[in-house]
Structure 1
């Protein structure tokens, strides 16, 4: 199984060609435009399923399958008040829950960004007991723990750890949270302002079968977005 997440900074219909060579089964794309915006794009032929969530058709979160190996549908527990952490049921070669993440600024700083993920984990706690992935643009890192939220990054990591859910990046590269050496975001696209704020967490079953984690490079991806894609491969 191959999964890729990338905050595409809008107009993904013009950028999907750059991720197709990964041959991913599932794409999680924050800042993706709605399917209605794709018009007659030739790349629609490459898409098997396209689930999209958002209020602005130019900028939501898309979850896309690129073959028939996996099917996706919205989990019945979905709460649209938590923006945007989307629970999906994935079926096919394997069955699991996928929480697609694009954490947002809300009306109150206290519940923004990692606060939304913290609240989502409370609402979707039962899903954490099933095989699952939690993947996307978290807009968070341990280095921001000092910002007062309903729950901070470290608290979220600890909650997930209690359910044997682990960051695949940190498992693969043997790094600690807050000490990442491979950035996933460059503020204002500036090389001097790197951050690691995109994550893929998974249940232990997937961690045990992890064969590859790849983070793109600044030189290759910065012209397309201020974020860098993360690619994961799990053996069958």
Structure 2
């Protein structure tokens, strides 16, 4: 199974081709326009689920072949609009949480606060094999900002459930001191951050073959975010 997370910074209909060579099974694309805006048939994808309030900017979840099928989990709670549980069936079955955390009217519940509250709500689903992936807009270095839950709180909550960040496992780095960056503020190389993540249950993590973070020079003209590209062994 190949899974890619990439905040495409809108106009994904013009950017999908840059991911085609990776032959991914599943894409999670924050800042993606709606199927109506994209022209779904022109994208030549298998499935395209989309959640958003504005046609130009929501979160899209794609399957690019028939190896996997995605559908909205019946427990989805619109109060956590952009922490979206999906049922994934195919060569392996698991729960996929597609994430795009944002500012909210209740500042204390913004960004990582959204994720913290959503994961508390979806506690029962965390007992199943799962992947939690997307643009979190969060890092341990932001823990000083007052939220209902900090980045560290979320990392520890998931760790207690046996759910680990692939990046930190694969590259053997600690949260807050990442050597590779997933976001460049205003596309400036001098203002890097690591705010996009893929967390997985240990049983899925054990089948990880490779992880790659896109490089600034290759992707910055397309987006201020770099893609996270993962490859898992389907035989387990």
Match of 2:13, SS state, is helix
| Separation in 1, partners of 2:125, 2:49 | 19
2:198 equivalent in structure 1: 200
1:97 equivalent in structure 2: 95
1:174 equivalent in structure 2: 172
Contact 1:185 1:196 in 2 (8 A): yes
| Per-residue CA distance 1:167-224 (angstroms, 9 max, x = gap) | 0000000000001011000000000000000000000001111110100000110000
2:31 equivalent in structure 1: 31
Question: What does 1:52-91 align with in structure 2 at a 5 Å threshold?
Answer: 52-91=50-89
| Separation in 1, partners of 2:57, 2:22 | 23
How many residues are matched? Answer: 234
Contact 1:83 1:104 in 2 (8 A): no
Match of 2:169, SS state, is helix
2:225 matches 1:227 = yes
| Separation in 2, partners of 1:83, 1:74 | 12
2:142 matches 1:144 = yes
1:20 equivalent in structure 2: 20
Q: Which runs of 5+ in 1 are unaligned?
A: none
| Per-residue CA distance 1:6-36 (angstroms, 9 max, x = gap) | 0000000000000111110000000000000
1:113 equivalent in structure 2: 111
| Separation in 1, partners of 2:177, 2:49 | 34
2:46 equivalent in structure 1: 48
2:163 equivalent in structure 1: 165
Q: CA deviation at 1:40?
A: 7.2
Contact 2:212 2:230 in 1 (8 A): yes
Q: Which runs of 5+ in 2 are unaligned?
A: none
